[in-house]
Amino acid sequence: MRGRPGGAGIGPARDGGRLWGSDGPRRGDRRRPRGLRGALSALSTVLLAFLLVGTQALPASADTVRDMQYWLGDYGFTTAWEKTKGAGVTVAVIDTGIASGPAELTGAVAGGVDVSGLGSPDGRTPVGSEGSEHGTLVASMIAGRGRTGGAGVIGVAPEARLLSVSVGFGSDGSAVIPWDDQIATAVRWAVDNGADVINMSLTRNSLDWPTSWDDAFLYAFSHDVVVVAAAGNRGSGTVEVGAPATIPGVLTVAGVDRTGSASFDASSQGITIAVAAPSEQLVGVTPAGSYVQWQGTSGAAPIVSGLVALVRSAWPELSAADAIKRVTATAKQVGDSAQSPIYGAGLIDAAKAVSGTVGPAATSPEQQLSDWITLYRRAPQVPDPDPGAEQPSPTPEPIPPAIPENEAVEVRANPFLPTPSTLLYGSLPLALLLGTGSLVTLGVIGATRHFKRVLQK
C-alpha cells in the first residue's frame, strides 16, 4: 500500500489541499475503525501523509516575509532569543528531505540520509513529485538563518543544527521499502547521529502503529531524545490524532489560528495533545528559495521542535522529560480545563519555557511507552513446568464459606482501568478526570460549540 504527500506546490494546493492518496477516505467519508480490532484491520487502508493543508505564493520581498512571521513576537521567541537561539542542539527533520538551495538554510544542515531508496544518500534531494517541498518548509520554520540585513525567513531556533532524513511514500509506485520500516529506520538513524530533538510532521492517519515503532521510539527515549509530532488536520481528513502523535511519550502539537483559537481545518483533536502552536498564515521557504504561505500542524510541530531546542540549549543539563515539562508547564491555559483535547496544556510561551521556574517531570517518555508496551504488547508469560523436576504435593484448597443467595457477590471490571480501546480511541484517562468533574460530557459539548463559534467568525 502506498501513501503520498499532498497540498504541495507553489500556489493554491490541488484538490483543496488534501493529503490523502487515491485509496484514502475523503472529506465526505470519514469513518473511524471501531475498537482495537477495527484499528488493526484498518492497516490495509491507512496512509502515511504529511500534515500540510495548502500553500500560497508570497511576494519576493524578503523583508515583507520577515514581517509576516507573527509567531516570533506573539509567542515569546524574540524574548527567548535574549538567552539562547538554540546553539549546540541538533534537530532531526524526518520528512521529504531538506533542499540545499535556499539561502536561509545555508550552514544549517549538519548531516543527513535517505531511508526511502528514492533520494540522495545525504537526504538533501527532496523526495516525491508531490509535496517534495514539505521538508524544506518545515526546516525553515525550525532553524532558518534568515538573510543579510534582517530579511528572509528565520526559524524559531536559528542557531540550532539540522539533520535531514528523507522518507518517501511512493505514490508513483516507485517505493520499495515499506514506509513503516522507513520511519523506524529514520528514528534510529537520527538518534545515532546526535539528534536531541526529532520533528515528525506526518501521520499514518491511524490511531495505532506497528511494533517496529515501539522499539524505535523506545530507542529514542532511552537516549534522551525528545520526539515532537503533529496532531493532524481536519482539512486533510485527519479528524483525530494519528500515530506517531498517539504514541505515549511523544510531544504532540495541535494548531491554532492567528487569534489563538483552535484551527478547524489546520488542526485535529485528541487526548494525547500536549500543547498548541500557530498552524495558520505560516511562512516558509521552498527548495527553489521562494516564499510561500501555508498552514497545517506540519508547521505547528516545527515551531514546538524549535522551542524544545531553545530549552535544551538554555538548560543543557535537563533530561528530555524535564525539557518537555518546561514546554507544557509554561503554556498558557485556554478555557477552564488544565488539559484539553483541543489545546493540550495550552498555547506555548517561548519566553517562559526558556526562563521560567519549572519543577522536575514526574515521569519520562521512556517509562510512559514502556508501561504501555507492558500492558498491551507483552503479556507476562508463565513458563512451562520442567517435566523432569519433582512436583510438590498439591495443597488441598480450603472450602469457602457458603454465601447466602440474597448476598450474592457480583464481580465487575474496574471501570477506571485503561484498556487498548481507551488509550487508542479517546476515553479520557483517570488523571484528566480528577478535579474536572464531568469533563467527558462537557468536553465534547464544549468542543462542538467552540468549533461552531470558530466557523462563524
- Domain CATH for 311: 3.40.50.200
Share of the chain above pLDDT 90, in %: 58
Q: Of the ranges 7-21, 254-268, 416-430, which one carries the lowest mean pLDDT score?
A: 7-21
Is the predicted pLDDT of residue 5 greater than 60, yes or no? no
Average pLDDT on 157-173 reads 87
- Domain assignment present for 360: yes
Boundaries of domain holding 107: 14-23+41-370
Residue 454 has a pLDDT of 46
- Domain assignment present for 421: no
**pLDDT grade for 239, boundaries at 50, 70 and 90:** low
Angle between helices 365-376 and 211-222 (to 10 degrees): 150
Taking CA atoms, 182 is separated from 23, 82, 216, 239, 248, in Å, by: 21, 38, 11, 25, 20
Q: Of the ranges 372-376, 379-383, 408-412, which one carries the lowest mean pLDDT score?
A: 408-412
Query: How many other CB atoms are there within 10 angstroms of residue 452's CB atom?
Result: 10
- Domain assignment present for 165: yes
Residue 367 has a pLDDT of 98
Q: What is the C-alpha to C-alpha distance for residues 131 and 97, in angstroms, rounded to an integer?
A: 10
- Domain assignment present for 404: no
Q: How many domains does the chain have?
A: 1
Task: Choose, from 114, 132, 134, 166, the residue flagged as catalytic.
Answer: 134
pTM of the full predicted structure? 0.74
Greater confidence (408 vs 366) lies with 366
SS3 content of the chain, % helix, strand, coil (to 5): 30, 15, 55
Residue 432 has a pLDDT of 33
Is the predicted pLDDT of residue 200 greater than 50, yes or no? yes
CB-count burial class (<10 Å; 0-12, 13-18, 19+) for 37: exposed
Contact 365, 324 (CB under 8 A): yes
Rounded to a whole number of angstroms, the distance between the first and last alpha carbons of the chain is 40
Is the predicted pLDDT of residue 372 greater than 90, yes or no? yes
Residue 44 has a pLDDT of 27
- Domain assignment present for 396: no
298 catalytic residue (yes or no): yes
- Domain assignment present for 425: no
Residue 58 has a pLDDT of 53
Contact residues for 455 (Cβ-Cβ < 8 A; gap 6+): 264
Contact 309, 91 (CB under 8 A): yes
Between the ranges 175-179, 218-222, 424-428, where is the mean pLDDT highest? Answer: 218-222
Is the predicted pLDDT of residue 197 greater than 70, yes or no? yes
Angle between helices 365-376 and 320-329 (to 10 degrees): 100
322 catalytic residue (yes or no): no
Mean pLDDT over each residue of the chain, to the nearest integer: 78
CB-count burial class (<10 Å; 0-12, 13-18, 19+) for 41: exposed
Q: What is the C-alpha to C-alpha distance for residues 311 and 303, in angstroms, rounded to an integer?
A: 13
- Domain assignment present for 411: no
Average pLDDT on 386-395 reads 61
Residue 235 has a pLDDT of 61
Q: Of the ranges 86-90, 140-144, 314-318, 449-453, which one carries the lowest mean pLDDT score?
A: 449-453
Q: Of the ranges 209-213, 333-337, 381-385, which one carries the lowest mean pLDDT score?
A: 381-385
- Domain assignment present for 455: no
Is the predicted pLDDT of residue 403 greater than 80, yes or no? no
371 catalytic residue (yes or no): no
Is the predicted pLDDT of residue 23 greater than 60, yes or no? no
Average pLDDT on 326-334 reads 98
Task: Choose, from 279, 298, 313, 355, the residue flagged as catalytic.
Answer: 298
Task: Choose, from 95, 114, 214, 322, the residue flagged as catalytic.
Answer: 95
